[in-house]
Amino acid sequence: MRKIIKGFFLTIGILLSVIQAAESAPSNFYFINTIDRFSEEYRFEGLSSFFINDEEIYVADNGGSHIYIFNLDGSPVFQFGKEKGITLPIDIFVYNDYIYVSEEGKDSIEIFNMRGEKSGIIAPPYEGFAPSKMAVAEDGSFFVVDRNSLKICVFDREGEYGYNFGGRDIFKSIAGITVKDGRIYISVMSNNPVVRVFDTKGNYLTGFGQIGEGEHYFSMPSGIKVDDKGNIWVVDAFKHRVMGFNIEGKKQGEFGIFGDPKKDLYYPLGIDFRGDTFYVIEKGRGRISLIKAMSNEQ
């Protein structure tokens, strides 16, 4: 009996040591700054999406019906909104010095130049198109989610419609979409697998991740982005965190847990990055947080 009791306490001691070591282990991700307004006059009212192109951040503010442009450090550059026809923007991307915006209540993608002047519209040749999430490839072709049909509509770099794939029989929901090196990555909220990978013709390649309550499950996956190493970063709004995976679904990194308002995430929606800095939209705090990733060697 004494040996059993002694062994029991020894096991508990080892477990406590492991837990304490894990708690004291340094994080590889460090909060460095936030962007929470363009100016005192133009404050964020309901961020929906953003896009980083070269040295600038393009922000869609759904609640304020505005597009904001910042330098990478958060200093304001330019803004435009309702006076230029912006109404409830959903998503945004930039290619070849033009800004592409999807908006609620509009049946086409609107294109603006860098002065915020409308330059044209794009839509597929069928009725009922409702553009929402978008992603642009390296060659300028782009992919748009039709939120009515849940089809992925494919356009070339000139804005010519090519084809579509998907639909409600394949996707019950689409939370995020991104394109990297000839692959389309889609996150879904209502069924498994959570992350799905397709080629640019819409052929399914692989997938991973499940919805569930445990630590290793997703709760409400939203934004998705792939870095230059091929790691897939998925934002989980309800678990207030961002997780990175390789193509096989093995975790490569994680940051963010609801808690300290100066350091942690609160209902994050989207992610992008430049170099070793991650930019994350937080719906709960109405801001973009900048998080630095440190190398394992540091």
Q: What is the pLDDT of residue 27?
A: 54
Q: Which two tokens mark 242?
A: 């961002």
**Angstrom distance (rounded) from CA 258 to CA 192:** 25
Q: What is the pLDDT of residue 261?
A: 63
Q: What is the pLDDT of residue 111?
A: 98
Task: Provide the residue ranges of all domains of the chain, joining segments of one domain with +.
Answer: 29-293
Residue 33 pLDDT greater than 70, yes or no: yes
DSSP 20-59: HHHHHSPPSEEEEEEE-BSSSSSB-S-EEEEEEETTEEEE
Looking up tokens 């912006």 gives: 86
pTM over 0.75: yes
Q: What is the pLDDT of residues 132-181, one digit of tens each?
A: 999 999 999 999 999 999 999 999 999 999 999 999 999 989 999 999 99
Q: What is the pLDDT of residues 72-116, one digit of tens each?
A: 999 999 999 999 999 999 999 999 999 999 999 999 999 999 999
Strand partners, 164: 153
Of residues 292 and 298, more confidently modeled: 292
Residue 210 pLDDT greater than 90, yes or no: yes
Q: What Cα–Cα distance (Å) separates residue 66 from each residue in 39, 40, 288? A: 13, 15, 15
Q: What is the pLDDT of residue 191?
A: 73
**Angstrom distance (rounded) from CA 272 to CA 227:** 9
Q: Of the spans 24-28, 176-180, 250-254, which averages the highest pLDDT?
A: 176-180
Q: Could you tell me which CATH class the domain 29-293 is placed in?
A: mainly beta
Q: Do 164 and 148 meet the contact criterion of CB atoms below 8 Å apart?
A: no
Q: What is the pLDDT of residue 6?
A: 43
Residue 37 pLDDT greater than 60, yes or no: yes
Q: What is the pLDDT of residues 188-197, one digit of tens each?
A: 987 789 999 9
Indicate the pairing of strand 118-122 with strand 109-112. antiparallel
Q: Which distant-in-sequence residues (6+ apart) come within 8 Å of 36 by Cβ?
A: 43, 44, 285, 286, 287, 288
